[in-house]
Structure 1
Amino acid sequence: MELRWKEAAIPKRFARLIDLAGNLWWTWQPDAQRLFERLDPVLWEEVRHNPVALLRRIERARLNAAAQSPGYLELYDRVLAEFDRALTGETWFERAFPAHTGIPIAYFSTEFGIHEAFPAYAGGLGVLAGDSLKEASDLGLPMVGVGLLYQHGYFNQRITEDGWQEALYEDLDLENLPLSLMTGPDGQPLQVEVAIAGSPVRARIWRLQIGRIPLYLLDTQLPENAPADRELSAQLYAGDPERRIAQEMILGIGGVRALRALGVHPGVWHLNEGHSAFSILERLREHIAEGLSFEEAAARVRETTVFTTHTPVPAGHDRFSFTLIERAFAGYWEQLRLSFQEFCELGRQDEPWGPTFNMTVLALRFSDHRNAVSELHGRVTRRMWAHLWPDRPAEQVPIRHITNGVHVGTWLARRMRALYQRYLGPDWMERVDDPALWERVLEIPDEELWTIRRHLKRKLVAFMRERARRRWQRNHVSPIQIVASGVLLDPYALTIGFARRFALYKRAYLLFRDPDRLRRLVNDPQRPVQIILAGKAHPADEPAKRMMQEIYRLIKDPAFGGRIAFLEDYDIEVARYLVQGVDVWLNTPRRPLEASGTSGQKAALNGVLNLSVLDGWWREGYNGANGWAIGEDRDYEDPNVQDAADAASLYELLENVVVPLYYDVEADGIPHRWLRMVKESIRSLAPFFNTRRMMKEYLHEMYFPALEAARRTAVAIPEPVRQGVRGHHLAEQPAGPRSAEHDTIAGGGEHGV
Structure 2
Amino acid sequence: MNKQDLEKRRIAYFTMEIGLDPKMPTYSGGLGVLAGDTIKSCADLGVPLITVTLLNENGYFAQKLDGEGTQTEIPVDWPKEEFLTPLPVKVSVDIEGREVKIRIWEYIVKGVTGATVPVYFLDANLQENAEYDRSLTSFLYGGDQWYRLCQEIILGIGGVRAIEAIGYKNIAKYHMNEGHASLLALELLERTKKDEEKDIYKKYDLELVRNKCIFTTHTPVAAGHDRFPLDLVKKALPSDLPFKMPDIFIRNNEMNMTLIALNLSKYVNGVAKKHGEVTREMFPGYSIDSITNGIHLLSWASSAFKKLYDKYIPGWQSDYFSLRYALSIPKEEIFQAHREAKKELIDYVNKRAGIDMVYDAFTIGFARRATSYKRADLLLSDINRLVEINDKTGRMQIVYAGKAHPKDGGGKEQIKKIFSKIKELRLQIKIAYLENYDMTQGKLITSGVDLWLNNPLPPQEASGTSGMKACLNGVPNLSVLDGWWIEGCIENVTGWAIGSIQKQNTDSAQDAQDLYQKLENVIIPMFYKEKDKWLEVMRHAIALNASFFNTQRMVQEYVLNAYL
Range into which the TM-score falls when normalised by the shorter chain: over 0.9
Query: Is 1:300 the counterpart of 2:199 in the alignment?
Result: no
Q: 1:514 to 1:291 in 2, by over 3 A?
A: farther
For residues 90 and 57 of structure 2, what CA distance do their matches in structure 1 show? 17
Q: Which residue of 2 aligns with 1:406?
A: 295
Secondary structure of 2:377's match? Answer: helix
Contact between 1:457 and 1:492, CA under 8 Å: does it hold in 2? no
Residues 521-600 of structure 1: pairs in structure 2 closer than 5 A: 521-523=389-391, 527-561=394-428, 563-600=430-467
For residues 498 and 555 of structure 1, what CA distance do their matches in structure 2 show? 14
Contact between 1:403 and 1:617, CA under 8 Å: does it hold in 2? yes
Query: Is 1:329 the counterpart of 2:196 in the alignment?
Result: no
Name the aligned partner's letter for residue 282 of structure 1: E
Q: Which residue of 2 aligns with 1:311?
A: 219
For residues 102 and 643 of structure 1, what CA distance do their matches in structure 2 show? 52
Secondary structure of 2:287's match? Answer: coil
Q: 1:285 to 1:308 in 2, by over 3 A?
A: same
Name the aligned partner's letter for residue 332 of structure 2: E
560-569 or 375-384: bigger deviation:
560-569
Secondary structure of 2:403's match? Answer: coil
Kindly state the Cα deviation for residue 451 of structure 1 after the two structures are TM-superposed. Answer: 1.2
Kindly state the Cα deviation for residue 238 of structure 1 after the two structures are TM-superposed. Answer: 2.0
Name the aligned partner's letter for residue 262 of structure 2: L
Query: Is 1:209 the counterpart of 2:108 in the alignment?
Result: yes
Q: Which residue of 2 aligns with 1:746?
A: none
For residues 530 and 494 of structure 1, what CA distance do their matches in structure 2 show? 6
Name the aligned partner's letter for residue 533 of structure 2: R
Q: Which residue of 1 aligns with 2:190?
A: 285
For residues 180 and 542 of structure 2, what CA distance do their matches in structure 1 show? 35
Q: Which residue of 2 aligns with 1:44?
A: none
- Gap runs ≥5 in structure 2: 111-115
Q: Which residue of 1 aligns with 2:113?
A: none
Kindly state the Cα deviation for residue 689 of structure 1 after the two structures are TM-superposed. Answer: 0.2
2:326 to 431, 437, 441: 441
Secondary structure of 2:317's match? Answer: helix
Name the aligned partner's letter for residue 660 of structure 1: P
Query: Is 1:491 the counterpart of 2:390 in the alignment?
Result: no
2:371 to 503, 508, 513: 503
Secondary structure of 1:209's match? Answer: strand
Kindly state the Cα deviation for residue 345 of structure 1 after the two structures are TM-superposed. Answer: 3.4
Secondary structure of 2:193's match? Answer: helix
Kindly state the Cα deviation for residue 161 of structure 1 after the two structures are TM-superposed. Answer: 1.2
Residues 14-93 of structure 1: pairs in structure 2 closer than 5 A: none
Q: Which residue of 2 aligns with 1:743?
A: none
Contact between 2:304 and 2:338, CA under 8 Å: does it hold in 1? no
Name the aligned partner's letter for residue 687 of structure 1: S
Q: Which residue of 2 aligns with 1:165?
A: 71
Question: Residue by residue, what CA displacement relative to the aligned partner does 1:652-689 show, whole Å, maximum 9, x if unpaired?
Answer: 00011110000015xxxxx1110011112211112210
Name the aligned partner's letter for residue 187 of structure 2: E
2:176 to 260, 268, 271: 271
Identity %: 42
Name the aligned partner's letter for residue 699 of structure 1: V
For residues 573 and 341 of structure 1, what CA distance do their matches in structure 2 show? 45
Name the aligned partner's letter for residue 423 of structure 2: K
Kindly state the Cα deviation for residue 644 of structure 1 after the two structures are TM-superposed. Answer: 1.7
Q: 1:142 to 1:694 in 2, by over 3 A?
A: same
Kindly state the Cα deviation for residue 289 of structure 1 after the two structures are TM-superposed. Answer: 6.7
Kindly state the Cα deviation for residue 114 of structure 1 after the two structures are TM-superposed. Answer: 0.9
1:371 to 269, 281, 286: 269
Query: Is 1:517 the counterpart of 2:405 in the alignment?
Result: no
Q: Which residue of 2 aligns with 1:467?
A: 352
1:241 to 145, 157, 172: 145
313-322 or 283-292: bigger deviation:
283-292
**RMSD of aligned residue pairs (Cα, Å):** 2.0
Query: Is 1:218 the counterpart of 2:78 in the alignment?
Result: no
Q: Report 1 or 2 for greater relative contact order, CA contacts < 8 Å, sequence distance ≥ 6.
A: 1
For residues 306 and 425 of structure 2, what CA distance do their matches in structure 1 show? 39
Question: Residue by residue, what CA displacement relative to the aligned partner does 1:566-610 show, whole Å, maximum 9, x if unpaired?
Answer: 111100000010111011000000000000000000100100000
Question: Residue by residue, what CA displacement relative to the aligned partner does 1:116-160 show, whole Å, maximum 9, x if unpaired?
Answer: 110000000000000011001100111100000011101011111
For residues 515 and 488 of structure 2, what CA distance do their matches in structure 1 show? 19
Kindly state the Cα deviation for residue 304 of structure 1 after the two structures are TM-superposed. Answer: 1.4
Contact between 1:301 and 1:366, CA under 8 Å: does it hold in 2? yes
Q: Which residue of 2 aligns with 1:123?
A: 29
Kindly state the Cα deviation for residue 291 of structure 1 after the two structures are TM-superposed. Answer: 8.0
Secondary structure of 2:529's match? Answer: coil
For residues 65 and 268 of structure 2, what CA distance do their matches in structure 1 show? 40
TM-score by length of 2: 0.94
Kindly state the Cα deviation for residue 520 of structure 1 after the two structures are TM-superposed. Answer: 2.5
Kindly state the Cα deviation for residue 465 of structure 1 after the two structures are TM-superposed. Answer: 2.4
Kindly state the Cα deviation for residue 290 of structure 1 after the two structures are TM-superposed. Answer: 9.2
Q: Which residue of 2 aligns with 1:432?
A: 320
Secondary structure of 1:254's match? Answer: helix
For residues 635 and 578 of structure 1, what CA distance do their matches in structure 2 show? 30
Q: Which residue of 2 aligns with 1:18?
A: none
- Gap runs ≥5 in structure 1: 1-86, 89-99, 184-189, 390-396, 469-481, 666-670, 705-753
Secondary structure of 1:287's match? Answer: coil
TM-score by length of 1: 0.71
Query: Is 1:192 the counterpart of 2:91 in the alignment?
Result: yes
Contact between 1:193 and 1:201, CA under 8 Å: does it hold in 2? yes
Contact between 1:284 and 1:294, CA under 8 Å: does it hold in 2? no
1:651 to 516, 519, 523: 516
Q: Which residue of 2 aligns with 1:742?
A: none
Contact between 1:439 and 1:683, CA under 8 Å: does it hold in 2? yes
For residues 520 and 576 of structure 1, what CA distance do their matches in structure 2 show? 31
Which structure features the higher share of helix residues? 1
Question: Residue by residue, what CA displacement relative to the aligned partner does 1:403-459 show, whole Å, maximum 9, x if unpaired?
Answer: 0000010001122122122222x22222213xxx34432222122111111111111
Residues 114-153 of structure 1: pairs in structure 2 closer than 5 A: 114-153=20-59
